Structure 1
Amino acid sequence: MEKDKNKSFTKWLEILQQESWQLELLISGFAIFLLAESYEPIRNLDDQISLLLSGSGYYGLLYVPYQVMLGAWYVLIINLILHVLLRGLWISTIGLRYVSGDIDFNTLNISSKFDRFLRSKIVSFDLYIQQLEKLCSSVFGFTFLIIFILISGGLFVLGIFILAITMQVIDTRFGDLWVVVIVPFLVLYLLGGLIYFLDFITLGWLKRKKGIARFYYPIYRFFSVITLAFIYRPIYYNLLDNKYGRNIILFLIPYLIGFTLIASLTVNSHAYLPGNRTLQSISNNFYDDTLEDRASYSASISSKFVKNGYAQLFLPYVARTDDKVIEAICPDLKPAKTGFSLFGIDDPLRNSMNADLALDCHTQRFKIYVNDTLLNHLKYRFYEHPTRKNIGLLTVLDVGYLPRGEHIIKVYVKLLQDSNGKDTLLFRESALIPFWKE
């Protein structure tokens, strides 16, 4: 009974294998449509991570899954489009074979030299269709293998960041002595990851060496779990048991290297454009109506053209650096807890915080000049920028007394600077925003 059941299942798999091209095309077409629609939301995640990063450097960990997601997006969109094109070619060859059958070189009436060459390169039209079918199925399977390899690489890099952050936290709280305990773990993790990677790209060379395999086994088991390699392990070993599959695995490394190089390729065709031109340039990120980088930490005004005599100036709050300054300016202001919260339940200390005192502490961080004139008695308010989505201070500058033409807003921000082992508060120029009064 069990034997008949297995035979039935095997027969079903063979039928499904023959008809799998329909599923491949359906999945590829549907996936390409979803990928095209999801590009903007994925790119917007970069802005969201940048906003979180302004609160704490630890949120930089989120860039690892983000880069994996972005890399997976590019791999999927490129490979699936290639797959659809190859499947289209394959379907066209089948239709052509129905019309004209196999290739009859005798009727072509070409010279013997070309005849010998073409017969050696094109054995038969049926073989060409078979090779094309194998290539199409390989591209489809190869695509998802790459996705899981990218995920594995991302998880490995995430482990490095976690160990590095652990070292930083231990160093801050317990001193250098405890860091010595973590460093060997980091070194062993990197060394083990390198060994695991070498075994992968050499198609299991370490597993075939009996003397080495015994010591490599615990490393292999550890990184199989860390990188979730057990998910795609059957695909990997299914490819290794034949020459065609091994060639696909060997193609992975140059494919990923070439993909990375092409993605990072830039073209510079401006011979007389200096690299260091910040002071001689104007940025769209200084003006809300031309804003490009929604996660910008720079001060901005509503527009480069001031028509009514008032310029609205936004000063972003970057908690990662500004919190230390506020703590130094207002030591009596108790900070609320930061991080994640469930069901929107906030720290009670935040609700009891004196808003007037907090606003005064924030305003002490800035000095605003128009041209060379320091503006005193400015009125500041907390403000959540509708486009940039970050929180900061908003003030309105009365520039109606200025003559028509170009002027400049200079923003100075108070920063902590280490001077002879002691933190000192100093004002530093943060932004130069040109504007034109009409």
Structure 2
Amino acid sequence: MAKDKKKTFVKWLEILQQESWQLELLISGFAIFLLASAYDELDSFEYQIYLLTTGSDYYGTLVPLFQLLRGSWYVLIINLILHVLLRGLWISTIGIRYVSGEIEFDFLNFSPKFDRFLKKRIVSFDVYIEKLEQLCSIVFGFTFLIIFILISCGIFITGIMMLAFSLEMSANLNQPEWLIFLIPFTFFYVFGGLIYFIDFITLGWIKKRKSISGMYFPIYRFFSFITLSFVYRALYYNLIDNRYGRKVVLFLIPYALIFTLISSMTFQTQAFLPNYRFNETLGNNSYDDTWDGNTLMSSASLYSKFVDNGYLELYLPYIGRTDDNVIKILCPDIEPAKKGVFFFGKGDKARNMMNAAAALDCHSQRFKIYVNDSLFSDVKYRFYDHPQRKNKGLATIFDVSFLNRGEHKLKIEVLFARNIKGKDTLIFQLTDNIPFWKE
């Protein structure tokens, strides 16, 4: 009974294997459509990720994960388009074979040199179709193998960052008992992961060495679980158990290098434009009405470069990563509305308990506003949630009707905390130099 079930299952797999090209094309076409539709959402998600990083260094762990997500997007759409093209070529060869059968080189009447060369390279049209079929299936399987490998890399990198933050917090909180555990575990995690990666890209070289395979076994088991590689382990070993599959897996490294080089390639056609032109450039992103909607701005912005009603509208973003330390030094009596990275449940209540007027007064001391080198001494600020940029900060509107018609300069100095001779010191630094035109 068990043998009959096994034979039936094997027969079903063989039929499914022969008809798998239909499923491959269906999945590829559907995935390409979804990936193309998700491109704009991916850009929006990137903006949200980088917006979080302005609040705390801890959110920086999301950046490499997002980069892996973006890499996965590119790998999927490029490889699946390639797969569809190859499948289209394979289907076309089958159609041509139905019409004309095998290639008749004698009928073509080529010269002996080309006749010998082509007969050697194209042994049989059926063999060509078979190799093309194998290539299509390999490309399809290879694509999803790369995706799972990227997921494993993301999990591993996240682990390193979490350990780094744990070490930093333990050191800052003076907890030596945690450091005694974390330092050796971090060492094991990093170097063990490196050994695991070397074994992976060398197709199991360490597992073949009997003298060290016993010591490597617990490392292999640990990282197989941590990186979820057990999910795609069967696919990986099925690929490397034959010569053709091994070549495909070994192609992972040059594939990653080529992909990285192409994605980082830029073109510079303006030979006589300087790279640094801070004071000499008119940037669209310094004005809300010309902002591109994607670039994360950590600097101030005006509503428009043109002032037609005598009032200048200025927005100053709050960058928690740097501004939190300034507030702590500038106003030590103010209790923060929240502590830590994550906040659940009582967030609104905690913020309501904070003295908003005192907080606003403290934030107002962080800025100096100049127009044409003249300091504005009576600037009134208010908290403001920017509706387009999605970040929080301060806003102010001040009267510039006394200015003459034409170009003027808005300069902003911001307080920063700097460690000078082992002591935190607050100093003003010029951060923005924004031109505007009064009509």
Pairwise same-fold verdict (TM > 0.5): yes
Separation in structure 2 between the aligned mates of residue 179 and residue 274 of structure 1, nearest angstrom: 48
- Percent identity at matched positions? 60
Superimposed CA distance per residue, residues 300-334 of structure 1 (whole angstroms, 9 cap, x where no aligned partner): 00111212211110000111211221222222221
> Aligned partners of 1:207 and 1:333: how far apart in 2?
59
CA–CA distance in structure 2, aligned partners of residues 46 and 300 of structure 1: 21
Alpha-carbon contact 2:50-2:63 (below 8 Å) kept: no
1:66-109 CA-to-partner distances (Å, cap 9, x unmatched) read: 11110100000100000000000111111111111111111111
Write the distance in 2 (CA, Å) between the matches of 1:205 and 1:134.
Answer: 26
1:421 Cα deviation from its structure 2 partner: 2.1
Question: Taking structure 1 as the reference length, what is the TM-score of the superposition?
Answer: 0.96
* Rounded Cα–Cα distance in structure 1 between residues aligned with 2:177 and 2:437: 58
Partner secondary structure for residue 308 of structure 1: coil
Q: Tell me which amino acid in the other structure corresponds to 1:385.
A: H
Which residue in 2 is equivalent to 1:328?
A: 329
Q: Which residue of 2 aligns with 1:204?
A: 204
Q: Tell me, what secondary structure is at the counterpart of 1:244? A: helix
The match for 1:26 is 26
Residue matched to 2:342:
340
Per-residue deviation at 1:181? 5.2
Aligned residue for 1:174, secondary structure, equals coil
In structure 2, how many angstroms separate the alpha carbons of the residues matched to 1:368 and 1:176? 46
Deviations 1:171-226 (A, max 9, x none): 11017896465333323222211211111111111111111101111111111111
- For residues 347-377 of structure 1, the C-alpha deviation after alignment (integer angstroms, 9 at most, x for no partner) is 6331121221111111111111111111122
Tell me which residue corresponds to 2:271.
271
Q: Which whole-Å CA distance do the structure 2 matches of 1:399 and 1:119 have between them?
A: 84
Letter in 2 for 1:340: F
Structure 2 SS opposite 1:267: coil
For the residue of structure 2 that corresponds to 1:110, the secondary structure is coil
Distance in 2 (CA, whole Å) between partners of 1:177 and 1:376 is 52
- Supply the distance in 2 between the matched residues of 1:405 and 1:313 (Cα, whole angstroms): 18
Checking the alignment, whether the CA contact within 8 Å between 1:413 and 1:427 is kept in structure 2 is: yes
The residue number in structure 1 matching 2:94 is 94
Letter in 1 for 2:109: N
Match of 1:300 in 2: 301
Aligned with 1:360: secondary structure? helix
Distance in 2, matches of 1:35 and 1:433, equals 39
Q: Deviations over 1:10-45 (max 9, x none)?
A: 111111110110010010001001000111111222
Structure 1 vs Structure 2 CA RMSD: 1.6
Aligned to 1:285: 285
Name the amino acid aligned to 1:372.
D
Aligned length: 437
Aligned counterpart, 2:165: 165
1:128-158 Cα deviation digits (max 9, x unpaired): 1111100000000000000011111111111
Q: CA deviation at 1:275?
A: 2.5
> CA offset at residue 253 of structure 1?
1.1
Matched, 1:11 2:17: no
Partner in structure 2 of residue 254 of structure 1: 254
| Whole-angstrom CA distance in 1 between matches of 2:4 and 2:177 | 66
Structure 2: which amino acid aligns with 1:30?
A: F
**Counterpart of 2:383?**
382
2:363 corresponding residue in structure 1: 362
Alignment correspondent of 2:187? 187
**Contact persistence 1:294–1:387 (CA under 8 A):** no
Output the amino acid matched with 1:215. Answer: M
Q: SS of 2:347's equivalent?
A: coil
Q: Which moved more, 1:256-265 or 1:79-88?
A: 256-265
CA distance in 1, matches of 2:302, 2:228: 48
Q: 1:176 to 1:341 in 2, by over 3 A?
A: closer
Question: What amino acid is the match of 2:11?
Answer: K
User: Structure 2: 5+ residue runs without aligned partners?
Assistant: none
Matching residue of 1:430: 431
Distance in 1 separating the partners of 2:373 and 2:177: 51
Distance 2:321 2:360 in 1: 18
Task: For structure 1, list consecutive stretches of 5 or more residues without a partner in the other structure.
Answer: none
